[in-house]
Amino acid sequence: MVNQDEQFRKFIELKDVLVKSDGRTILNIPHAVIPADRITACIGPNGAGKTTLLKLLAGLITPDSGTVSYSFSPAKTALVLHHTPMIKASARTNLSMVMDADPSITTEQINAILEQTDLTRLANSPAHKLSAGERQKLCLGRVILQKPNVVLLDEPTANLDPNTTEQVERMICEFTNQGFEVIFSSHQLAQVQRIAQYIIFIDDGQIKEKGPVGPFFSTLQTQAAKRYLHQELLAD
């Protein structure tokens, strides 16, 4: 059951959205209002359409039909995918690539981000040889320099050790203090409860349930959501 009566200060609205690939329907969303004024988690089974939804919200793909509209302007988003490729250059060079799109970014700002992400000592190391956690922090550092309205993260702590997971979660929570809101996908229900304020449950390409974190977990409405949470809790 999707509550269409919620009020958000900033939001992204989807109407009659249909996304297909090779004749298969990936997303089918007649209507949804997704908050862009808080940390929102997108959860659901593998293959449910979470990554496609994030790409859609980022403007990387366009729907086969329907519209995606933003209540805010400029609608500037930054997407970090689960596997973000690095060029075969230093961490500093990979970070400095954002200067091509925004020449106002300074070397001092690059240095500050390296310090903030605890990567100063690795600034001259080949980025593609960094650990998964170091590469993820590098990606999040690039996001900070881009200054988006909304940060979209696809499984931001997948395959990271607990210490690095904690560091990345802290960075995500700090985004709101820098004026960025966050929509992220995750299979880690404990993580969702730790840092998210709102949840979207997607299954078989459809948003089947959504709401604030507390009520979502305590008053599930759909069998699909109940089944998914039960399976994930068993897996944990």
Of the chain, the end-to-end C-alpha distance in Å amounts to: 26
Please name every residue paired with 206 in a beta bridge, in sequence order, or none if there are none.
Answer: 203
* pTM for this entry: 0.91
Residue 121 lies in a domain: no
* Structural element, H or E, at residue 231: helix 223-235
Question: How much is the average pLDDT of 205-210?
Answer: 94
On whether residue 134 sits in a domain, the answer given is: no
Per the structure, how many domains does the chain have? 1
Residue 92 covered by a domain? no
Among the residue ranges 3-7, 67-71, 85-89, 213-217, the one predicted with the least confidence is 3-7
Contacts of 5 (CB under 8 A, 6+ apart): none
- pLDDT at residue 1 in the model: 41
Give the alpha-carbon dihedral of 103, 105, 111, 112, to 10 degrees.
Answer: -170
Q: How far apart are CA 49 and CA 206, in angstroms?
A: 8
Q: Can you give the pLDDT at residue 234?
A: 57
Is residue 95 included in any domain, yes or no? no
Any idea what the CATH number is for the domain that residue 201 is in? 3.40.50.300
- Across the chain, which distance is largest between two alpha carbons, in Å? 52
pLDDT digits (tens, 9 = 90+) for 55-109: 999 999 999 999 999 999 889 999 998 877 788 999 999 999 999 989 999 999 9
pLDDT score at 85: 79
State which residues form the domain around 40.
11-84+147-235
**Partners of 20 in beta bridges:** 25
Q: Does residue 1 fall inside a structural domain?
A: no
Evaluate whether residue 3 is within a structural domain: no
User: Is 212 contained in some domain?
Assistant: yes
Tell me: pLDDT of 4 over 90.
Answer: no
Amino acid at 127: A
From residue 131, how far is each of 3, 11, 96, 128, 174 by CA, in Å? 41, 35, 19, 8, 22
Query: How far apart are alpha carbons 77 and 25 in whole angstroms?
Result: 25
- 213 lies in a domain? yes
